[in-house]
Structure 1
Amino acid sequence: MKLYRLLAAILATATALAATAAWADRLDDIKKSGVLRVAAFDGNPPFGFIDPETKKQTGHDIDLARAYAKQLGVELKLIPTNPANRIPLLTSGKADVVFASFTITDERAKVVDFTTPYFLVGQVFLAKKGVLSSLDKLKGLRVGTEKGTTMEANLRKNYPDARVVLYDDSPLALAALRNGNVQAITNDGVKLTAQWNTLPEAERADYEIPNFTVSKEYLGAAVPKGEKALLDSLNSWLLASEADGLALNTYNKWFGPDSRAPLPRLLKIGDPVVP
């Protein structure tokens, strides 16, 4: 319930301020410098990764960051990050915003400020067929996930008998699963579906995502604590992106039926938060 109240407060604030965002502080600095520094993933498709052809960062979150920078009329500077470095990049002043599949939690909200949620996911598992038929099978199982994530926290808190193995990013965890170093990996359903679909067709048939989840997670962008003007601006833009179709078009590009990670859209920006 505590997290629900946090999410509800974030959404209420975003809605109330949608038409009256103030401009000051970090937001003024961004406009004066002409550069928006956004920390984004470079190894977690389809949210953020390196395009093998262009050798540049791309992905769902990066498209959103690019559109927000365009709305501000400034240049976008991408700062590659992994999950563990998202908060340090904000608190050290090296990034203005994090757009990196960032789950909103009470603990994180003590040190950064989150926007209204723009994505809803659930934590699932990928394993060879038959290995993980139920959550009871997690006992003693070697399960890989990314360090510094809610996936790690959920496992340690709710499934203490699982043997958690940590990796810097999701491609390393997938490699560990394929070579047998772990027996399952866990992440949000979006990432795991996208990873599963990167496997060669013959190998992909050997794996499955069991039909159960262990969490419901709302994702938001984050800004340094107390940067109200920047937060208000981002919230106003996110709500506007839902109204004008940009958010839906971006989602469909990366998760729609013709994408490599087709998934139903579970959240419209501005929807009430359901615990």
Structure 2
Amino acid sequence: MTITPDIIKAFTPAGSLRASINLGNPILAKQDPQSGEVGGVSVDLARAFARKLGVSLELVVFDTAAKSVEAVRSEKADIGFFAIDPLRGEGMRFTAPYVLIEGAYLVRQDSPLQDNAEVDRTGTRVVVGKGSAYDLYLTRELKSASIERAPSSPEVVPAFLAQNADVAAGVKQQLEGDARKLGGLRLLPGRFMVIQQAMGTPAPRGEAAAKALSAFVEECKASGFVAEALARHGIKGASVAPAA
């Protein structure tokens, strides 16, 4: 990947590289409750890309995917980390995915539901994080079940319990953690979708910038950087996406 002055300029109209970070997906980003420091796979990638450009990095942190997407789309951030979805394509250019993440369903231990295919039935209430990739996907795919939206993905299970809903939907690892912590809950076997997690930049930044970001992602996958970041942060259940 050749970094030209024009590419650097395209990514840094504010002087530094502003990276939109979504804390709603704990697989990719977390905030230390004591220090307030933000870290994770997406932060590692943002730092590596800033180094590649030879510029300083500014993290723009949000609690939901929807807010993170809007920051990039409105050019209040220069890059972001998103699940690829048709509804998010407007105004942005995505790279190929760098990580694949499973989406799963959580139910109460005594729920009659035993299989993912049983969820989409009349009367079934599914809670999902508002504006998340899971929300966008299930809004298209569920024909009979009803969707109820929690303010963010980390609030899905609390909302599911408080509203006495039938199913919680979201990041498999997050749901597994909630099930272990709270008890009386179980995941349905397998997954209902696979999230393709990619990097994105505002479309007006141009074709050369989009290609440079895509090349960076491919370099990070091929060199082992993404795999090492997943291991370093103790992320299980997510896998490095294949080469584009």
Same fold flag (TM > 0.5): yes
Cross-structure match for 1:229: 208
Q: Residue by residue, what CA displacement relative to the aligned partner does 1:181-203 show, whole Å, maximum 9, x if unpaired? A: 4332111xxx33134325655x3
Q: Residue by residue, what CA displacement relative to the aligned partner does 1:196-250 show, whole Å, maximum 9, x if unpaired? A: 325655x34x222211322233221111114223222212222222232211101
Range moving further from structure 2, 58-67 or 132-141: 132-141
Alpha-carbon shift at residue 253 of structure 1 (Å): 2.2
| 1:120 aligns to 2:105 (yes or no) | no
Say whether the 8 Å CA contact 2:12–2:18 is kept in structure 1.
no
Q: Residue by residue, what CA displacement relative to the aligned partner does 1:25-45 show, whole Å, maximum 9, x if unpaired? A: 6x3154575411011112431
Alpha-carbon shift at residue 93 of structure 1 (Å): 1.8
Alpha-carbon shift at residue 178 of structure 1 (Å): 3.9
Distance change (3 Å), C-alpha of 1:31 and 1:86: closer
Distance change (3 Å), C-alpha of 1:213 and 1:45: same
Alpha-carbon shift at residue 266 of structure 1 (Å): 5.4
Cross-structure match for 1:5: none
Helix, strand or coil at the partner of 2:157: helix
| 1:197 aligns to 2:169 (yes or no) | no
Helix, strand or coil at the partner of 1:120: strand
Cross-structure match for 1:158: 141
Looking at structure 1, the residues matched to 119 and 15 of structure 2 have their Cα atoms a distance apart, in angstroms, of 53
TM-score, structure 2 normalization: 0.85
Higher-strand-fraction structure:
2
Identity score, percent: 22
Alpha-carbon shift at residue 157 of structure 1 (Å): 2.6
Cross-structure match for 1:61: 42
Distance change (3 Å), C-alpha of 1:181 and 1:78: farther
Cross-structure match for 1:36: 17
Structure 1, unaligned stretches of length 5 or more?
1-18
Cross-structure match for 2:231: 252
Cα RMSD, aligned residues only: 2.5
Distance change (3 Å), C-alpha of 1:263 and 1:216: closer
2:28 to 23, 47, 60: 47
Q: Residue by residue, what CA displacement relative to the aligned partner does 1:71-99 show, whole Å, maximum 9, x if unpaired? A: 22222211122222233212322110112
Distance change (3 Å), C-alpha of 1:163 and 1:240: same
Distance change (3 Å), C-alpha of 1:199 and 1:210: closer
Cross-structure match for 1:263: 237
Distance change (3 Å), C-alpha of 1:161 and 1:36: same
Distance change (3 Å), C-alpha of 1:253 and 1:195: farther
